[in-house]
């Protein structure tokens, strides 16, 4: 009964790695389309949850869903990686869970206005400044988590072929974030930001899909028999 419950929790955590990015992507697409004369790439993601946005609850729900699901997925990934013979899980799952908590914080610490350079507006509030600081940590985490998983997967025959893809995704994410940071108010900023967050989310969803669809061998290694645990 206990093992059955743990397997169910594992499956839910693995599925959360797909549900979170899907919910977040759906939220920013829907929220972008709700903004008048902006289009899907017109506003940055944080601006979609600002008080002066149209239906900001859509994007806020996206932040919370992504954050909660990411925390759950990190726990499932740690359980899977701990269960094989190649050592511990490494820092990757912890970084993923940290990204989830930071995403929740970024959503709750809402930005003051839709536009970063809104004309004639007063100075930013404390929670808007905190949102910017937390967002910066999220961006760093997006790259660090992929690098950590690439390092861990390189030691595991079952995951080794994922390593070059994760390294390529981490490099692309870093390059896009640098381009975004050079002109955060420019006309391409919103598109670059979406690309920078979508790449690592796609990597997470792909790993989650493997855990979800090929979990028989993982469950065998993750939850060994009672006899093997007592020797």
What global pTM score does this model have?
A: 0.86
Rounded CA-CA distance 73/12 in Å is 8
CA angle 193, 198, 202 (to 5 degrees): 165
Burial class (CB in 10 A: 0-12, 13-18, 19+), 223: middle
Phi, psi of 139 (to 5 degrees): -60, -45
pLDDT in tens, 9-53: 899 999 999 999 999 999 999 999 888 766 555 689 999 999 999
> pLDDT tens digits, residue range 64-118?
999 999 999 999 999 888 866 566 889 999 999 999 999 999 999 999 988 776 5
Per-residue pLDDT, 64: 98
């Amino acid at each position: 009964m206990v093992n059955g419950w743990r397997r169910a929790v594992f499956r839910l955590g693995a599925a959360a790695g797909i549900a979170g990015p899907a919910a977040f992507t759906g939220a920013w697409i829907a929220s972008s389309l709700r903004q008048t004369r902006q289009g899907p790439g017109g506003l940055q993601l944080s601006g979609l949850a600002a008080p002066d946005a149209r239906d900001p609850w859509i994007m806020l729900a996206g932040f919370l869903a992504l954050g909660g699901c990411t925390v759950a997925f990190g726990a499932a990934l740690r359980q899977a990686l701990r269960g094989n013979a190649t050592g511990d899980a490494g820092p990757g799952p912890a970084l993923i869970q940290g990204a989830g908590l930071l995403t929740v914080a970024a959503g709750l610490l809402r930005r003051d206005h839709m536009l970063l350079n809104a004309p004639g507006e007063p100075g930013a509030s404390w929670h808007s400044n905190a949102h910017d600081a937390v967002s910066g940590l999220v961006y760093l985490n997006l790259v660090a988590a992929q690098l950590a998983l690439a390092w861990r997967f390189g030691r595991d025959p079952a995951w080794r072929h994922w390593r070059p893809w994760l390294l390529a995704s981490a490099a692309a994410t870093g390059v896009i974030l640098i381009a975004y940071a050079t002109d955060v108010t420019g006309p391409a900023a919103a598109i670059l930001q979406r690309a920078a967050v979508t790449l690592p989310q796609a990597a997470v969803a792909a790993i989650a899909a493997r855990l979800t669809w090929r979990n028989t061998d993982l469950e065998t290694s993750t939850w060994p028999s009672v006899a093997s645990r007592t020797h």
